Chain A
């Protein structure tokens, strides 16, 4: 391919990826009076939309906290469980290994709604509606397979000699895992944590189904249901500002850890 053509292609891709996002940022920085302006730069810029987003009536700050709790707890739980399983699948030789990994991956393909219909009934009986656990438990169904899969790949990439040396030096397999493998797997664990956190933070269908109390809603749900000053008028400016706030942690993660994220994302797909 010619060089200028490739450069043009690169610019096209960047524009494609960033233009809509840029529009969200620009729209959030306009004065509410200029909301329908289609100028490319907000003039003058204003933080009114952000102030409106955090208006106590919206409950947005609380919703951010809820999102953080759900995503944080789910990620921690999933990591604790998946580290053990990933290690076992990657390093131990036992019967039925292929079946176990196949099952774990298969569960990640199940549609969320298929699990949610029966779970909602169960949660109603348990009085779990409007609780964190009602959002966390179903989130495990997609975050756990993702984590197991990623960690299995990472554990596999480590040389076997490490454990063998540890065992020769008198470690039990358990000690070899804790003292030799785990510290070296830290980058993989970290990447998995980022991916699991992003996946849970972005979750919508569970959160919108098992919670109906305003103060328990997650950020995604509450932003999507913001109502304007006059009910039928969708407050796009406020929603764009809130959208920027919800997206900022993710954009920061992407900026700092893009290499790791890409490695994690491609780990399973590329053989």
Chain B
């Protein structure tokens, strides 16, 4: 995968093309034409995303601010539901039983992201270092590494539920009698292990792609200067691979923050040790408590937005990446 900015002649030496890369003085009409073509080509995507993403986000916000009241109408004797604007769904996040459940889910979501995020990053970088150079082109090897990524999460959750079952292979190998998928720290750990297995090789592949674009001369120069392998790794490899790594880790973290399938199938619904924000919101949604469900969902949304913002601003994650090369 080549990654250098595509070398194209500077605009001044180029023929003014009809595709909008014209000189500033070139016809405005042509520019307007390109703009119109772009609008036509973009609108299906923008309309679709507006319907299936934009509208739901706004509606989730509205739902989370709608307090539903149920009472009996004195005149008709029927149960009536009224909705008014209010913050009750949010204050409920910190009060009483629902508050405790929310904070627990928030903690699970955070701890899963931190623990698994760290594990997959370390393992992924290690794997990439091993894969680098030695087996660069081996198709079968690469296919093997892709297998955990390709297995549907729900199926891999079942697989790990089987591995972690009472008489399963995990207890057999460890010579233990742990009840992995019941409430407790071991259930949390089983989710971390299963997720790490599934995603570390994937991070490894992304980091490997970053490693492969570091020119060999850089390493040769380091060698000539007498740099130790350890020193080379920290001072050369890691900084150069950082752009690829940061983006890969960001997307992994966002995936972890919305984790649902794995704890849901591996351990089960309503289990406190592994209940994430997504699961909590899902549970309320299934019970038609849309207000609280929307509040959890909006909190999760804000949480992921803050994490993404921090990665982009503080760590300089360039998520737009190659798509914007050649922008002028």
Selected A-B contacts with CB under 8 Å, 15 pairs: A10-B141, A21-B147, A84-B40, A84-B44, A89-B42, A92-B37, A97-B38, A106-B308, A111-B301, A117-B294, A204-B152, A262-B146, A269-B247, A270-B322, A271-B244
Interface residues of A in 89-107 (CB under 8 A from B): 89-95, 97-98, 100-107
The yes or no answer to B222 lying at the interface (CB within 8 A) is: no
Judged by a CB distance under 8 angstroms, whether B238 is at the interface is no
Contact between A23 and B159, CB atoms less than 8 A apart: yes
Minimum CB distance partner of B32 in chain A = A94
Stretch at the interface among A50-58, A143-151, A185-193: A143-151
Give bound CA distance, A240 to B161, whole Å.
11
Q: Which of B158, B209, B319 contacts A223 (CB 8 A)?
A: B158
User: In the complex the two chains form, is A144's CB within 8 Å of B48's CB?
Assistant: yes
Chain A residues near B216 (CB, 8 Å)? none
On chain B, the residues within 8 Å of A120 by CB distance are: 285
- A48 CB to nearest B CB, Å: 17
Query: A43 interface residue, CB < 8 Å from B?
Result: no
Contacting residues, chain A, for B29 (C-beta < 8 A): none
- Number of A residues, CB within 8 Å of B: 109
Report whether B322 and A202 are in contact in the complex, using a CB–CB cutoff of 8 Å. no
Beyond contacts A21-B147, A167-B19, A270-B321: 10 other A-B pairs, Cβ-Cβ < 8 A, are A84-B42, A94-B38, A106-B308, A114-B301, A148-B45, A149-B323, A204-B261, A240-B162, A269-B247, A271-B247
B147 near A251: Cβ-Cβ < 8 Å: yes
Count the B residues whose beta carbon is within 8 Å of the partner chain — how many? 117
Q: How far is the CA of A269 from the CA of B172 in the complex (A)?
A: 40
Judged by a CB distance under 8 angstroms, whether B28 is at the interface is no
Residues from chain B with a CB closer than 8 A to the CB of A223 are 154-155, 158
B: residues with CB less than 8 A from A are 1, 3, 6, 8, 15, 17-21, 34-35, 37-42, 44-46, 48-49, 51-53, 55-57, 59-60, 63, 127, 129-131, 134-135, 139, 141-148, 150-163, 165, 167-169, 172, 197, 200-202, 204-206, 209-210, 213, 229, 243-244, 247-248, 251, 254, 257-258, 260-261, 264-265, 277-278, 281-282, 285-286, 290, 293-294, 296-298, 300-301, 304-305, 308, 318-328
Q: How many Å lie between the Cα of A149 and that of B161 in the bound state?
A: 35
User: Is B298 in contact with A269, judged by CB distance below 8 angstroms?
Assistant: no
Which A residues touch B248, using CB under 8 A? 269
Q: Enumerate chain B residues within 8 angstroms of A122, measured Cβ to Cβ.
A: 59
Q: Residues of A contacting B209 with CB < 8 Å?
A: 262, 266, 269-270
CB atoms of B281 and A117 under 8 A apart: yes
Q: Tell me the complex Cα distance, A253–B257, Å.
A: 28
A81 on interface, CB distance cutoff 8 Å: yes
> Is A18 part of the binding interface, using a Cβ–Cβ cutoff of 8 Å?
yes
- Cross-chain contact B56 with A38 (CB below 8 angstroms): no
Residues of chain A within 8 A of B257, CB atoms compared: 111
For the complex, give the distance between the alpha carbons of A224 and B243 in Å. Answer: 38
Residues of B within 8 A of A270 (CB): 1, 3, 206, 209-210, 213, 243-244, 247, 321-322
Which of B8, B143, B254 is packed against the most chain A CB atoms within 10 Å? B143
A113→B206 contact, CB < 8 A: no
Does A94 lie within 8 Å of B35, measured CB to CB? yes
Complex: how many Å from CA A116 to CA B270?
19
Interface residue from A85, A92, A209, A271 paired with B318 (Cβ < 8 Å): A271
Does residue A16 face the partner (Cβ distance < 8 Å to B)?
Answer: yes
Does A118 belong to the interface (CB within 8 Å)?
Answer: yes
- By a beta-carbon cutoff of 8 Å, the part of chain A in contact with chain B is 1, 6-7, 9-10, 12-14, 16-18, 20-21, 23-24, 27, 36, 38, 81-82, 84-85, 87-95, 97-98, 100-107, 109-122, 137-138, 140-141, 144-145, 148-149, 152-153, 156-157, 160, 163-164, 167, 173-174, 176, 198, 201-202, 204-205, 208-209, 220-221, 223-224, 234, 236, 239-240, 243, 246-247, 250-251, 253-255, 258-259, 261-263, 265-271
Prevailing SS type, chain A contact patch: helix
CB distance from B16 to the nearest CB of A (A): 10
Interface pair A98/B320, CB less than 8 Å apart: yes
Distance in Å from the Cβ of B161 to the closest Cβ of chain A?
8
Closest to A137 in B: B52
Out of A14, A84, A141, which one reaches B49, CB within 8 Å? Answer: A141
Contact across chains for A262 and B142 when beta carbons are under 8 A apart: yes
Closest 5 CB pairs of A and B: A9-B130, A111-B258, A93-B20, A118-B59, A266-B209
Write the chain A residue with the least CB distance to B162.
Answer: A236
**Given known A-B contacts A85-B41, A250-B150, A209 and B282 have beta carbons under 8 A apart:** yes
Q: Is there contact, CB below 8 Å, between A173 and B38?
A: no
Q: Which of B15, B53, B59, B135 contacts A110 (CB 8 A)?
A: B53
**A218 CB to nearest B CB, Å:** 9
User: Roughly how many angstroms separate A138 CA and B259 CA in the complex, as a whole number?
Assistant: 17
CA distance A122 to B56 in the complex (A): 9
State A270–B128 Cα separation when bound (angstroms): 14
Q: Is the CB of A10 within 8 A of B41?
A: no
CA distance A153 to B325 in the complex (A): 9
* Complex Cα spacing A184 to B190, Å: 46
CB of B303, distance to nearest CB on chain A (Å)? 9
Q: Which of A85, A101, A173, A250 is within 8 Å of B151, CB to CB?
A: A250
> B258–A113 contact, CB under 8 A?
yes
Separation in Å of the B290 CB from the closest CB of chain A?
A: 6
B38 to chain A, nearest CB (A): 4
CB-defined contacts of A251 to chain B, threshold 8 Å: 147, 150
| Contact A18 to B56, CB < 8 A, known contacts A10-B134, A152-B323 | no
